[in-house]
């Protein structure tokens, strides 16, 4: 089965931050912060990584232009054979000026992808991505991402390890943010549906200097089938803890209602008070 890794934590960060900080202001006079920059930076980093992976996957299969590109991009693939091992480099170039793509996002610069010894989608393949003068919606993206297909676990389930280290440079003197993440996605069948069970963590420093960490404490379950092909758009189950240096309390988040039920429901518990919010 050819599968994709879906990065799911950051896409919820803005909705989570809005629900949490608005709720805290209404119900508590404790030392809380309404600065949601850390959540925004985490969401932007997650989006940049997932977006570039989607483009890379499509380009590796020769179909990225069917999904995101807008006619101003070029793809160059280079194979080098050394001692019977094939090294492959893929350069996805959106031009030196903003390209407005089919998904409405603007991109410019290069996404550079490297792998060797295995096919892009093969078991045990390790794929590294980096960027050159790359901008997504005018945010400069610098750093690396590595995705390793680790094969089947002792349980018999297929798994992928993921690490990333990014710097986001915002336009017009908006500052810079850093983001690091390490996760494992395990493909599991629950009843008749296939899911990615996601574990791991993320951390970073916002452009305002706040440090934050996200730790998945109970695996997040997201359907392997994309929502536009009939899968669920939301995390159906799982828990994580968010800590932000500028915020007084840890935030305990629970997603969904049950595996197999596609629901946007989620809760955040702060200082023993629970707030409801909707996944976006």
| HEC-encoded secondary structure of the chain | CCCCCCCCCHHHHHHHHHHHHHHHHHHCCCCCCCCCHHHHHHHHHHHHHHHHHHHHHHHHCCCHHHCCCCCCCEEEEEEEEECCEEEEEEEEECCCCCEECCCCCEEEEEEEEEEECCCCCCCCCEEEEEEEEEEECCEEEEEEEEEEEEEECCCCCEEEEEEEEEEEECCCCCCEEEEEEEEEEEEEEECCEEEEEEEEEEEEECCCCCEEEEEEEEEEEEECCCHHHCCCCCCCEEEEEEEECCCCCCEEEEECCCCCCCCCEEEEEECCEEEEEECC
Q: Do residues 250 and 214 touch, judged by C-beta distance below 8 A?
A: no
- Provide the pLDDT confidence category of residue 131 given band limits of 50, 70 and 90: very high
Q: What is the pLDDT of residue 35?
A: 56
Q: What number is the average pLDDT over the span 71-89?
A: 82
Residue 16 has pLDDT above 90, yes or no: no
In the numeric block, which tokens belong to residue 27?
Answer: 């119900």
- Provide the pLDDT confidence category of residue 71 given band limits of 50, 70 and 90: low
Q: What is the pLDDT of residue 31?
A: 43
pTM score > 0.85 for this model? no
Residue 19 has pLDDT above 50, yes or no: no
Q: What is the pLDDT of residue 136?
A: 93
Q: What is the pLDDT of residue 254?
A: 92
Q: Which residues contact 29 (CB under 8 A, 6 or more apart)?
A: none
Least-confidence region, from 3-12, 16-25, 76-85, 175-184: 3-12
Q: What is the pLDDT of residue 217?
A: 96
Q: What is the pLDDT of residue 22?
A: 45
Q: What is the pLDDT of residue 68?
A: 55
Q: What percent of the chain has pLDDT over 70?
A: 83
- Per-residue pLDDT of 31-58, as tens digits, reads 444 456 777 888 788 778 878 887 888 7
Q: Do residues 41 and 179 touch, judged by C-beta distance below 8 A?
A: yes
Q: Which residues contact 101 (CB under 8 A, 6 or more apart)?
A: 68, 69, 70, 73, 94, 107
- Per-residue pLDDT of 222-234, as tens digits, reads 888 877 678 888 8
Query: Highest mean pLDDT range out of 65-69, 120-124, 149-153?
Result: 149-153
Residue 9 has pLDDT above 80, yes or no: no
Q: Do residues 160 and 148 touch, judged by C-beta distance below 8 A?
A: yes
Residue 105 has pLDDT above 90, yes or no: no
Higher pLDDT, 279 or 263: 263
Residue 12 has pLDDT above 50, yes or no: no
Q: What percent of the chain has pLDDT over 90?
A: 36
Query: Highest mean pLDDT range out of 59-73, 79-93, 170-184, 245-259?
Result: 170-184
Distance of alpha carbon 18 from alpha carbon 36, whole angstroms: 8
Q: Which residues contact 152 (CB under 8 A, 6 or more apart)?
A: 123, 158, 159
- Sorted by where each begins, the domain ranges of the chain are 10-278
In the numeric block, which tokens belong to residue 83?
Answer: 């001692």
- Per-residue pLDDT of 190-206, as tens digits, reads 998 999 898 999 999 99
Q: What is the pLDDT of residue 5?
A: 35
Q: What is the pLDDT of residue 70?
A: 60
Distance of alpha carbon 173 from alpha carbon 101, whole angstroms: 25
Strands 126-136 and 211-223: unpaired
Q: Hunting for tokens 């629900």 — which residue is that?
A: 19
Average pLDDT over the chain reads: 81
């Amino acid at each position: 089965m050819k599968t994709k890794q879906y990065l799911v934590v950051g896409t919820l960060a803005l909705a989570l931050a809005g629900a949490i900080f608005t709720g805290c202001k209404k119900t508590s006079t404790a030392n809380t912060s309404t600065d949601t920059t850390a959540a925004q930076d985490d969401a932007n980093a997650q989006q940049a990584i997932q977006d570039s992976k989607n483009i890379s996957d499509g380009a590796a299969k020769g179909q990225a232009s069917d999904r995101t590109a807008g006619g101003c991009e070029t793809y160059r693939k280079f194979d080098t054979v050394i001692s019977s091992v094939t090294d492959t480099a893929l350069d996805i170039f959106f031009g030196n000026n903003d390209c407005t793509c089919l998904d409405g996002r603007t991109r410019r610069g290069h996404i550079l992808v490297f792998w060797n010894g295995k096919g892009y989608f093969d078991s045990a393949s390790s794929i590294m991505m980096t960027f050159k003068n790359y901008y997504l919606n005018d945010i400069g993206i610098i750093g690396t991402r590595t995705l390793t297909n680790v094969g089947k676990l002792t349980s018999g389930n297929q798994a992928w390890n993921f690490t990333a280290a990014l710097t986001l440079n915002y336009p017009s003197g908006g500052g810079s943010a850093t983001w690091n993440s390490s996760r494992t996605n395990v493909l599991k069948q629950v009843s008749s549906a296939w899911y990615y069970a996601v574990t791991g963590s993320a951390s970073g420093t916002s452009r305002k200097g706040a440090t934050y960490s996200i730790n998945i404490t109970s695996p997040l379950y997201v359907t392997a089938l994309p929502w536009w092909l009939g899968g669920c758009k939301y995390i159906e189950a799982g828990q994580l803890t968010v800590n932000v240096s500028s915020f007084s309390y840890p935030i305990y988040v629970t997603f969904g209602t049950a595996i197999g039920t596609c629901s946007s429901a989620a809760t955040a518990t702060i200082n023993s008070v629970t707030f409801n919010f909707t996944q976006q």
